Structure 1
Amino acid sequence: MSNVSVEYTTTEPLIDTLNLIQINMGRYLYPFIFSLGNIGCILNILLLTQRVYLQNSCSCYILASSITNLFIVNINILFHMLSFGFGIDPTTTSLYFCRFRQYFSHVTMLLSRIYIVLACIDRWAMTSTSVKLRSYSKVNVAKIIIPSVAIVWFTISLHIPLHHFIVNGRCMVILRDYSIFYNIYNTVLSGFLIPIVMIIFGFLIMRHVKLSRKHVNPRLTRNPILVNQQQVKVNVKSREYEILIMILVQLAVYLITCLPFPMYLLYATVTISWIKSNVQLALDRFYSNITVALNNINFSVTFYIYILTTRVFRKDLKRLFVENRLFKTYFGSRWTTTPLKTNNGTIGTIVVSMNQQNLASIQCRR
């Protein structure tokens, strides 16, 4: 009896502390992730739907990933926020929500990662010296691959909702064999296959870039006309290579934030038949929720990764919201731009403010 009482007094505060931390995560951390993710995904989509980005195949894959992330934020992250922080979880009372959440969350998180893998493969093909490989880096190819991949994985993952049921107020898998299969399936895809493919093509991309720099013709430096032509080509490709930097940085963030979750699934599979104490179960739940939170953060910060790592992305965002849409939306037809030629021959623009009455009076005078 003395051992039991000591066990209770030393472990109960630990369980309460872990539960309190998870509640505070739901009330404070997840609303922050939810807001950050919505703002970032919407801005990302607005920018990547501009014509200059829609003409780039890699941008199409990133756009598809951003749209998928928006669904993840507003379904998966929202459910976690309501469940952990406020005790509202429709998946514990509705079998439909239980199966829908598990199915849709799994597929969307997987698709978001696969689209980034496809973006890496696309950049590898674009930087290749092979004409045949570069032919795959086209918008028309991306428009076929993006919906095809979604259809394939939504079909393959149909086994997930069929094996989830509500037991004792929890949405969970009943069959032990399927639970082992599902953990291994998730671990192989998210923990090994996708990161390995990303790393391989990341190294191949950097190798192609180094080789392309070595093949620069040194005779161009002797001819000013050729130098100017080469400079124009470099300026045109600057956006391509900055998109490449975005992909490589996102790969690093993915490895940091997403790998702990497959590691937990591997641990859960190995220890599925172990008899665990209440403390160990609480620690397992706590570690699981921490890895899930890191996983969710990855889908919310992609836009901010692009902003911090890409100069062209920042310029295009400023042009979109300051010079084009927000500026014109606020001032409407009162503002127009007029070209202005300076003394040194450069072309600039001046902003002319004019209301409709002044414009009509000027036309009458003419």
Structure 2
Amino acid sequence: MSAAIIINAINLQFSRFAPLVVFIFGVPGNIFNILIFTRPNLIKNPCSTYFFCSSLANLNVLFFGLIPRSLADGFGIDPVSNNLAFCRFRYFMVHPSVVLSSWFTILAGIDRYCISSRDVHRRQLSNLKYSRYISAITTFIGFAIYSHLLGLFVMQQLKTGPYCYALVGPYRVFYDFLYFATFSFTPPIIMIILGLLTYHNVRQTRSHIAPVVTNNTNAGQLKRRDRQLLKMTCIQFICVIILTLPIAVQKLYSTFTQNVVKGATQVAIESFITILLRVFVYINASTSFYV
């Protein structure tokens, strides 16, 4: 039995079972997040708005991204490649949502940076009204910059069968660079910078994080809640950086080597790597509740 056949068999089993595990944990986790961040003691915290929006985006990724991809890779049932309209709709739901999930995490980090500052004016930027406006504007921009795919994603015939993706040529290169820049390159850089700046703020204030929300709860509880949200944001930063960068690099590699003749074993290996990195993206959309 050749190496390619063995690797393809592994690919098939991995494609069937790994996404199922991610889905089982990811969907309830994001639903619990939505319930938690809409509780009375958290709904007025600006950071909760961003995590709430991120959870909605993650559910989009899991339902419109994970399920069709799992059916196609693991069971040979591909509703996307048989229907151009659904193909475009699916990508329009998935790719902006994947990107928005990362950017809402960045916005949560900016909020934590502001709330951890010793500057009272900077702390006032952590504001519920601002967070709702910013979330709405970010969502609009996220979908707007990917709207061109509704007309430029097409059916293409590959050796393995019909495949729906960006039009071959300059547009595909542009699209993969756009995806790389908005999803896997710019967000990690901003997250690293925000993490360092917030760490500097925390050290300056000797771990004293001033609360923005004022109600009948005592100040100590508010400080503790802000610290918990700060910790959650930092862990989310790490998860996003580790789990999202590889897939964009793989997409660029795939685009630039699409005309290169490859052996069966190399194709099988690259297919496995692609499937694995896709699962990483779905894991990223599933972890926030568990951190």
- Give the TM-score normalised by the residue count of structure 2: 0.90
Determine if the alignment matches structure 1 residue 159 to structure 2 residue 145: no
Of residues 172, 178, 189, the one that matches 1:185 is: 178
What is the distance in 2 between the residues matched to 1:180 and 1:238? 46
Larger deviation, residues 68-77 vs 260-269: 260-269
Q: Any stretches of 5+ residues in structure 1 without a counterpart?
A: 1-11, 217-231, 306-366
Determine if the alignment matches structure 1 residue 212 to structure 2 residue 200: no
Letter in 2 for 1:165: V
Q: What residue number does 1:234 align with?
A: 220
Q: Is the 8 A contact 2:149 2:166 kept in 1?
A: no
Q: What residue number does 2:281 align with?
A: 295
What is the distance in 2 between the residues matched to 1:176 and 1:215? 53
Q: What residue number does 1:60 align with?
A: 49
SS in 2 for 1:53: coil
Q: Is the 8 A contact 1:25 1:84 kept in 2?
A: no
**Taking CA–CA contacts closer than 8 Å with sequence separation of 6 or more, which of the two structures ends up with the larger relative contact order?**
2
Q: What residue number does 1:279 align with?
A: 265
What is the distance in 2 between the residues matched to 1:154 and 1:214? 38
Letter in 1 for 2:175: Y
Q: What residue number does 1:223 align with?
A: none
Q: What residue number does 1:343 align with?
A: none
State the Cα distance separating 1:185 from its structure 2 match: 1.5
Change over 3 Å in CA distance of 1:214–1:296 after alignment to 2: closer
Alpha-carbon displacement from aligned partner over 1:214-251 (angstroms, at most 9, x marks no partner): 889xxxxxxxxxxxxxxx53332110011100010111
Letter in 1 for 2:166: V
Q: What residue number does 1:341 align with?
A: none
Letter in 1 for 2:231: I
Alignment of structure 1 residues 127-276 onto 2, 5 Å: 127-168=116-157, 169-213=162-206, 233-276=219-262
What is the distance in 2 between the residues matched to 1:153 and 1:181? 16
State the Cα distance separating 1:137 from its structure 2 match: 0.4
Q: Is the 8 A contact 2:202 2:208 kept in 1?
A: no
What is the distance in 1 between the residues matched to 2:96 and 2:114? 26
Larger helix proportion, structure 1 or 2?
1
Give the count of matched residue pairs: 279
Change over 3 Å in CA distance of 1:173–1:46 after alignment to 2: same
Determine if the alignment matches structure 1 residue 85 to structure 2 residue 74: yes
SS in 2 for 1:166: strand
Q: Is the 8 A contact 2:247 2:277 kept in 1?
A: yes
Letter in 1 for 2:46: S
SS in 1 for 2:262: coil
Larger deviation, residues 81-90 vs 207-216: 207-216
Q: Is the 8 A contact 2:98 2:183 kept in 1?
A: no
Identical amino acids, percent of aligned pairs = 30
Change over 3 Å in CA distance of 1:267–1:167 after alignment to 2: closer
- Give the TM-score normalised by the residue count of structure 1: 0.72
What is the distance in 2 between the residues matched to 1:280 and 1:28? 23
Alpha-carbon displacement from aligned partner over 1:277-331 (angstroms, at most 9, x marks no partner): 33322222221111111111111121111xxxxxxxxxxxxxxxxxxxxxxxxxx
Letter in 1 for 2:260: W
Alpha-carbon RMSD across the aligned residues, in angstroms, is 1.8
Change over 3 Å in CA distance of 1:288–1:215 after alignment to 2: closer
